[in-house]
Amino acid sequence: MTGADPRRVDPDVDLRVPGDRGELRARPTAVLGVIAAGGVLGALARAGLQTAFPHRPTGFPWATFAVNVTGCLLIGALMAVVAAGRTRPLTRPFLGVGVLGGFTTFSTYAVDVRLAVAAGAAGTALAYLVATLVGALVAGWLGDAAAGRFLRRRAALAAPATVGGGRPGAGGSRAAGGPAPTGRADEDREAR
């Protein structure tokens, strides 16, 4: 590791973003420990699902498909939460790299495709190949979009009610101390 920045814990952390710099406060040993612990938990969960729902080499590997799509959905949601700055320094390494990295399995995905082709189920292999790729990308986007929307709504509900340019009492909102609405939009607009 000669020449590498010894303070750098996570190579995809943007050091220009204050929230990302919080990960640097954690010691690398702690980061590796939470990644390893999370990886064990994620891999055990995946192995349990794949054992509970096995498939023949010619069949569609539903368990692995569900694991990868669900994992990508959760990774997208986690990234929205991390981007909003609502996590502690070891959250992303534990959940993102550890748990969800151990849970998702694109190596098994590749092996399943190869085994299906070798067993003479090229159609199943192609369907699985495309469905997993598209499903994982869409799930990641949906997870990020849904979590981002949820966090924005939650922040809006927690914000104090202000109307009329941010000045309390400047609009027609009773919560902001303004006049009671008349029930007619034209009269309300004229009153402002």
Total domains present in the chain: 1
**Residue of 94, 101, 80, 85 lying closest to 143 (CA atoms):** 80
Residues 63 and 51: beta-carbon distance below 8 Å: no
How far are the Cα atoms of 40, 165, 180, 191 from residue 184, in angstroms, in the given order? 61, 22, 11, 11
Per-residue pLDDT of the chain in tens (192 residues, 90 and over written 9): 444 444 444 545 666 776 666 655 656 788 889 999 999 999 999 999 999 999 999 999 999 999 999 999 999 999 999 888 878 878 888 999 999 999 999 899 999 999 999 999 999 999 999 999 999 999 999 999 999 999 999 988 987 765 555 544 444 444 444 444 444 444 444 444
164 marked as part of a ligand binding site: no
pTM: 0.71
Residue 172 lies in a domain: no
Can you say whether the dihedral through the CA atoms of 135, 102, 5, 78 is positive or negative?
positive
Closest listed residue to residue 129, CA positions, set 148, 146, 106, 152 = 106
Residue 185 lies in a domain: no
Structural domain of residue 56, as residue ranges?
18-158
Judge contact between 73 and 139, C-beta under 8 A. yes
Task: Please indicate if the annotation marks 42 as binding a ligand.
Answer: no
The verdict on residue 178 lying in a domain is no
